[in-house]
Structure 1
């Protein structure tokens, strides 16, 4: 099957295959079907990605698809791990579906802790934004900020599914589908940031790439960024916000629950982040 390479990431590649956009490689040891064109045949896509997975001996296939296209995947042995209502334009649900090619990949490490984090997070009451500390500011980031952004990402994340520690990559996505926001201290140093990965056609946004320098943690910057980003996305006509958070992070799961997000499911052993393959929790909110 002919492919057209789009973006080479650290260890993985993003490319077109059978009318679908996929990411695959050894870093995450998986294929991630990110989007199918409206003309793509689900059966042809399944055949192509499974052939690619066998060729490269990947452990997992992970897909995001409109609910209306689920039947072909269900009939091919895919399972639903998460579901976001009204994901596409506020009208159609999105399903996060998987097929495990390595049986060990479906086994959770420390499932009691993972479930405790979900339970603790869901028990939290919704909290409004409290404001930043004195002399701190929050604004949208631009091309001139990408060097500082990359430095923070490189310090915070030993590994990440996309090369966010590369300023060239940050500029590329910033010029395409990403808006980033950051908190600055009293000396105008960037100390915390996050990004909005926007699907303008589907009117949804992934709230992602949250990172805070160690000396500035515990001050609620992620919560403030999330609130600010939601307002910006709502003004931009976006209807649904979601995140894919590390399942073993109390902080990030609690942040989204306290901001009014609903738990949508867990993606087992899905993403290489912070030095290992980790399970990820999906949270969503209509904004």
Structure 2
């Protein structure tokens, strides 16, 4: 098995290019970008999956490769509209163990999505008490951000529990907004920006339990959306825990559309969980 630190690697041969995210903690590999000979690059990808003994392989695929991936026993799980500079990305997966393919919550989670789509979307914008202060986080906030994530999430799929990792993401362009209460960070989220393909994942959403009644997360996500628009980025997506009614409801009420579910996708909160995909076109609102 790989060592426990995740990393991005580039594979180039004479007739293909691959950008691969190695994720040992979640026992998976993700293909974030590719071009060239699809048959050959899929062969190399599978070799990599077997070499590192992963349980799941994920590929962000282009629409024109949809049918070819079916032939290679990949299955579609989710879609992000306009991910590739305006073209859709299809999240395909292949599973390598029986345990990773089993799930006891699927029907329950289907029902939850139906319930969420019945919610009122005309809710007024929340205004928290004046003791709450919204700010864009900088590197001086890294220690406190890590403490927040440690408190909210027993397990998290990326090393946000470590302040140095938070600083690293900031240096690489990830934008964090936070709410302070009495000088302490009580709520946070980030936008992980892909500057080449002009999309962003809204992620790392966390609010301390005692501060969840004021709609802080909706305000933070709205601020992140404004930041993305200022940067000319209109494809926003977010991947939420399928068992978290609250976070999925927040995204729906902010105008995001449900676009599928990634089965047994990552270790988060306290176990391996399914994750729902939500997508929003920031240019249409």
TM-score for both structures, normalised by structure 2: 0.90
1:220, 1:254 → 2: CA distance? Answer: 12
- Counterpart in the other structure of 2:162: 166
- Counterpart in the other structure of 1:122: 117
2:52, 2:235 → 1: CA distance? Answer: 35
Q: Taking structure 1 as reference, are residues 99 and 158 closer, same or farther at Cα in structure 2, changes over 3 Å only? A: same
Is residue 155 of structure 1 aligned with residue 130 of structure 2?
no
**Range 234-243 or range 8-17, more displaced:** 8-17
1:73, 1:197 → 2: CA distance? Answer: 27
2:261, 2:149 → 1: CA distance? Answer: 24
Is residue 13 of structure 1 aligned with residue 7 of structure 2?
yes
Choose from 151, 171, 180 the match for 2:176: 180
Q: Taking structure 1 as reference, are residues 64 and 54 closer, same or farther at Cα in structure 2, changes over 3 Å only? A: same
- Counterpart in the other structure of 1:286: 281
- Counterpart in the other structure of 1:3: none
Q: Do the aligned residues in 1 keep the contact of 2:60 with 2:92 (CA within 8 Å)?
A: yes
- Counterpart in the other structure of 2:80: 84
Q: Secondary structure at the match of 1:191?
A: strand
Deviations 1:199-221 (A, max 9, x none): 12211110000011222122211
- Counterpart in the other structure of 1:228: 223
TM-superposed deviation, 1:59: 1.6
2:116, 2:29 → 1: CA distance? Answer: 29
- Counterpart in the other structure of 1:241: 236
- Counterpart in the other structure of 2:26: 28
- Counterpart in the other structure of 2:270: 275
Mapping of residues 23-172 of structure 1, within 5 Å:
23-36=21-34, 39-89=35-85, 91-126=86-121, 127-172=123-168
Q: Secondary structure at the match of 1:238?
A: coil
TM-superposed deviation, 1:128: 4.7
**Range 270-279 or range 66-75, more displaced:** 66-75
Is residue 252 of structure 1 aligned with residue 247 of structure 2?
yes
Q: Do the aligned residues in 2 keep the contact of 1:87 with 1:204 (CA within 8 Å)?
A: yes
TM-score for both structures, normalised by structure 1: 0.89
**Range 17-26 or range 149-158, more displaced:** 17-26
Q: Do the aligned residues in 2 keep the contact of 1:9 with 1:163 (CA within 8 Å)?
A: no
Number of residue-to-residue matches in the alignment: 276
TM-superposed deviation, 1:25: 4.1
Q: Do the aligned residues in 1 keep the contact of 2:134 with 2:178 (CA within 8 Å)?
A: yes
Q: Secondary structure at the match of 1:218?
A: helix
TM-superposed deviation, 1:70: 3.2
**Range 102-111 or range 208-217, more displaced:** 102-111
